[in-house]
Chain A
């Protein structure tokens, strides 16, 4: 206000104020001088009190200074809401200083969620029509920063008018304000669409840039607008071509690249217009190739343009050669010394790896090298991309690289790397053995980071690879002997040792160095797992069950196992306790069934996680199962003899019956588990042999799920005064039936009711042919060798009908 002199002279102090208000920069200094947060708070609270008082008193002269100070403390995180109304007053003032700070305050303090913000609408309207460019600039800036939908609707006509103003300064701001308005009120598109085509003819870079941004926004929001603007593609191509070819203009260039901001914006709009549109894509093909090949890539500005070009090429209908060029540019980016450029390359290649797989494959070696990046965001993307690049032809090489990476990678990438390797191995494993080896390696390197289903997957895999049982159990045994801390590994190893313990002790396996393992060592190892504080409860469960299974797989006596089982009957862990009690009962009361119950596991059908769950549950309940181990050599040859005796041709008995897919469940009722199927009427036992106190009994089981299967357990008992030693039992059946003998529990029946020998026979009788069974017994008793051959009479019809 001219003529009026209201001033703060250093010698005059207005009566109402205690002290002259601090200058902004003095306050900043005082705040920075505070040594503690409490001190800072004190300074600020004191000053805010002054500011509040000043606002209350309505001092117009220093209002802008007070607000400026308030904005500073607001930036530090202190409350400043009481300044909101002051912003309004400052904006309404005619003094430019006031407006500058007032509008800044509005942008920082006013919130479209509170109604107070609407109060500046009128001031903005006035300022927009005043014709003072810096003021118009402030108003437009504020409107495009915090303008709510309501404000935008109210002020759209004003902004539209400014689009046609001669001054480029105001026009460029009006255009970008229009962009904001459309974002807030999409219906305003109809207002701002018409001027666009005309604006494209402008030469001013700021106006051009704003226009292209506006067109981009319109096209992204409306398919109709998209269609409308396709016709400017040739014009856009021309603008970009001119930019690129007419060369250096000091005003707009960065490192020899003409206005990279404008180039990038044009390329982005071209991408939107060319997407899914053959004709537009064709129009821009040549230009894109030109930009891709001619842009100077020594500095970031050029690379930014190149990057946008690549994105556009990949998104439109470009010629195949152009696409390959684009992927190669990304490949080159991977070798750039600038980390940021490697980053955008990896992210983009990840997006393209599905659609342009072979083009990206060409850069596989470079991608694998990027695994060694020290920067976490880079190595993570390199890992993702590497995993996506694994296919059946490069799987071996890639897995080697990835496994090497797994050993040294940072902990937060371990889980992803491990599961990635396992997934890729599952999809592309060239051989089962390689697959098992790979999983084994992952379990030993990063066992604690694998997913929960890795254990189930591996046991499933091993179970199905019969020829690799010996190999697997040996490797697992060795791994376990070295380290019992990695739980998934321990679980799988325990399971395998339990299942294939007999193969472990055999000593031969061509693929691995011969290893002499004796029974005591195996039992000791399992006991170690059982007792270790590192073992999870589930792991201990596996170990206990494995020990129990070994009672039928090993040759020696089972005292040690019985002892361990007995101890765990009073274990605090309920699961272990239950298992131990059940196993102990198995020893004591159902010993004749033990071999049948602890048979090898069946191969579960892999429908997916569901099947695996069922497999786990059936394992945990220790039910009777129906897998088929191959009979041993000696038994096979002697069976031939027996079959000759039956006047049949030889050969059938050696073939193992086909793997039965249904999971076990027959003897569930024996162990009193709640979800048992209704039990079939039990077939009575049959005494088939007796001589001098040595007796042989047969017990029969027909599992309800598999009517063709008959399980016979023979039990040899000895009530005499002399031990029975070297006991061997062989059997033969008619040709239409298939017979398999499992390893007997032992060769010795001690005198006077000592521990009996049990052995399981599996007979498959799909045709329900009448069952005939011939047995051959050899043993030593009272210093004599005994041999008995006989056919079993009185076999119950239920055993085969």
Chain B
């Protein structure tokens, strides 16, 4: 992955190869969300990276194996955020990516 490095801590009895698949899946999710993800995307949108991770893993376990479902969930949350923001910012709202 274009200069992205991941470090994952697992337990003794965990399957290393499926952990690799988990990392692959996460990168794919980031990729879909940011459109060709690169390091800067993650740096400038670190909270988003967390939110996406939280839709894929929960308490250290995989919660959703459908890429589609994960991305849909993020979309819904972003939509909800957008909705609530329009109540607070009228004209100065540019887009959820730069809401902060």
Q: Which residues of A contact B (CB under 8 A)?
A: 1-2, 5-10, 23-25, 28, 32, 61, 64-65, 68, 71-72, 75, 95-97, 100-101, 104, 132-134, 137, 140-141, 144-145, 169, 172-173, 176-177, 179-180, 205-206, 209-210, 213, 251-252, 254, 259-262, 264-265, 268, 300-301, 303-304, 307-308, 311, 340-341, 343-344
Once bound together, how far apart are the Cα atoms of A257 and B30, in whole Å? 22
Q: Which residues of B contact A (CB under 8 A)?
A: 15-18, 20-22, 24-25, 43-44, 46-47, 50-51, 54-55, 58-59, 61-69, 73, 76-77, 80-81, 83-85, 87-90, 92, 98-100
CB-based contact B65/A261 at 8 Å: yes
Once bound together, how far apart are the Cα atoms of A132 and B76, in whole Å? 11
Give me 23 A-to-B residue pairs in the complex whose CB atoms sit less than 8 angstroms apart, sorted by A's number.
Answer: A8-B92, A23-B98, A24-B100, A61-B88, A71-B46, A97-B85, A100-B81, A104-B51, A132-B80, A173-B58, A205-B64, A209-B63, A210-B63, A251-B66, A252-B65, A260-B21, A300-B17, A303-B17, A304-B20, A340-B17, A340-B20, A343-B16, A344-B17
A263 smallest CB distance to B (angstroms)? 9
Given contacts A24-B100, A206-B64, A307-B17, contact A97 B81 (CB under 8 A): yes
Once bound together, how far apart are the Cα atoms of A482 and B57, in whole Å? 63
Once bound together, how far apart are the Cα atoms of A244 and B24, in whole Å? 22
CB-based contact A304/B59 at 8 Å: no
Most chain A CB inside 10 Å of its own CB: which residue of B21, B58, B88: B58
CB-based contact A176/B59 at 8 Å: yes
CB-based contact B21/A300 at 8 Å: yes
A482 smallest CB distance to B (angstroms)? 47
> Which residues of chain A have C-beta atoms less than 8 A from B77's C-beta?
96, 100, 134, 137
Once bound together, how far apart are the Cα atoms of A343 and B20, in whole Å? 13
B22 smallest CB distance to A (angstroms)? 8
> Which residues of chain B have C-beta atoms less than 8 A from A206's C-beta?
63-66, 69
Once bound together, how far apart are the Cα atoms of A711 and B83, in whole Å? 108
CB-based contact B59/A180 at 8 Å: yes
CB-based contact A205/B81 at 8 Å: no
B99 smallest CB distance to A (angstroms)? 7
CB-based contact A251/B68 at 8 Å: yes
> Which residues of chain A have C-beta atoms less than 8 A from B15's C-beta?
264, 268, 304, 307-308, 311
> Which residues of chain A have C-beta atoms less than 8 A from B43's C-beta?
28, 32
> Which residues of chain B have C-beta atoms less than 8 A from A6's C-beta?
88
- Name B66's closest neighbour in chain A (CB-CB): A251
> Which residues of chain A have C-beta atoms less than 8 A from B63's C-beta?
172-173, 176, 206, 209-210
> Which residues of chain B have C-beta atoms less than 8 A from A97's C-beta?
81, 84-85, 99
Once bound together, how far apart are the Cα atoms of A1 and B85, in whole Å? 10
CB-based contact A308/B18 at 8 Å: yes
Known: A72-B46, A304-B18, A341-B17. 4 other contacts (CB 8 A): A25-B98, A65-B100, A68-B100, A205-B65
CB-based contact B84/A95 at 8 Å: yes
CB-based contact B17/A179 at 8 Å: no
> Which residues of chain B have C-beta atoms less than 8 A from A132's C-beta?
80
Across chains A and B, which 8 residue pairs bring their CB atoms closest together, nearest first?
A144-B59, A304-B17, A24-B100, A180-B59, A304-B18, A176-B58, A206-B64, A96-B84
Given contacts A96-B81, A176-B63, A179-B61, contact A7 B20 (CB under 8 A): no
- Name A75's closest neighbour in chain B (CB-CB): B46
CB-based contact A209/B84 at 8 Å: no
A742 smallest CB distance to B (angstroms)? 63
- Name B85's closest neighbour in chain A (CB-CB): A97
Once bound together, how far apart are the Cα atoms of A730 and B7, in whole Å? 82
> Which residues of chain A have C-beta atoms less than 8 A from B20's C-beta?
300, 304, 340
CB-based contact B58/A23 at 8 Å: no
Given contacts A2-B87, A95-B88, contact A304 B64 (CB under 8 A): no
CB-based contact B65/A7 at 8 Å: no
CB-based contact A100/B66 at 8 Å: no
Once bound together, how far apart are the Cα atoms of A260 and B25, in whole Å? 12
Residue from A104, A172, A251 in contact with B47 in the complex, judged by beta carbons closer than 8 Å: A104
Once bound together, how far apart are the Cα atoms of A63 and B14, in whole Å? 40
> Which residues of chain A have C-beta atoms less than 8 A from B85's C-beta?
97
B48 smallest CB distance to A (angstroms)? 10
